[in-house]
Amino acid sequence: MVLYVLRVRSVRPHERVVAWDPHVPGVREVFHARFVEHAYPPHAHQAWTVLIVDAGAIRYALDRRSRGSDAAHVTVLPPHVTHDGRAAGSGGFAKRVVYLDEDVVGAHLIGRAVDQPAVGDERLVRQVRALHDALRHPVDALEAETRVAFVAEHVTAQLAGARPGPARGDAVDDGGGGERGAHVAGALRDLLDADPVTSRTLRSLAAEIDVSPTHLVRCFTARFGVAPHAYLVGQRVDAARRMLLDGRAPAEVAVATGFHDQAHLTRHFRRHVGTTPGRYRRRAG
């Protein structure tokens, strides 16, 4: 997966912007910024803006109504609606933003977001933070797409006035039990086992099994006790172990088992096996 990072150094040394396209379905852009003096002029996006504040607070006008954002809320700004933005205090603010395609949440909820853009839900705050952590390593695209799906589901439920789906701690949601859930989980495991190397999107897997992406993840997690992306990484690490025992070089093994590069393999291999691929290969036998 190709990643590009745009680093823009402000003329003000205490301000910074980092933005990138993670090439994850549903995500247009990830944007992290620290501003003190910068103020946004009135503007609108063609995407849903989902932002969290890491430090300070923000004041902004949305559809000419005064609003605010702080660390206790997830702010959801709808597409095509004019807003601006500035620091609420002299110390400035730091924020992280993910821009989602319009159909990820749905144009029918634009009015609801205009009326109530700030969501004071601790669980959603954790979900968005976890999404940003996943988007730092966009080669783990299935995990990032899974987290996008649950954030979108939660935001949609909040805006629609419905109750979000079940959760288990800070992990991805589960709750897909029963005979039908077991069938769905088994079907996904068969697809992942058949070709663990080729990267598949969550959307394409869900469409092949004819369920929603979030339901697919819930069913799999409930049946096997691990999310699909974590299961897939485990399968790839197992394959890598066999190749390393055959004497193949870690860089070659990384590509052959579906990892982005040797560093990506090493990160997961160390977590699963407790050592690096190179040391594992040298000490084999």
pLDDT in tens, 229-262: 999 999 999 999 999 999 999 999 999 999 989 9
Is the pLDDT reported for residue 146 higher than 90? Answer: yes
Cα distance between residue 117 and residue 114, in whole Å: 6
Residue-wise pLDDT for 25-77, tens only, equals 999 999 999 999 999 999 999 999 999 999 999 999 999 999 999 999 999 99
Asked if residues 143 and 236 have their Cβ atoms less than 8 Å apart, the reply is: no
Cα distance between residue 49 and residue 60, in whole Å: 13
Q: Which two tokens stand for residue 266?
A: 């090493």
3-state secondary structure of 19: strand
Pick from 162, 60, 77: nearest CA to 117: 77
Q: How confident is the model at residue 129 (pLDDT cuts 50, 70, 90)?
A: very high
Pick from 175, 172, 210, 209: nearest CA to 190: 209
Is the pLDDT reported for residue 10 higher than 60? Answer: no
Asked if residues 184 and 220 have their Cβ atoms less than 8 Å apart, the reply is: yes
Domains of the chain (ranges plus CATH)? 4-159 (2.60.120.10), 174-226 (no CATH), 231-282 (1.10.10.60)
Q: How confident is the model at residue 13 (pLDDT cuts 50, 70, 90)?
A: low
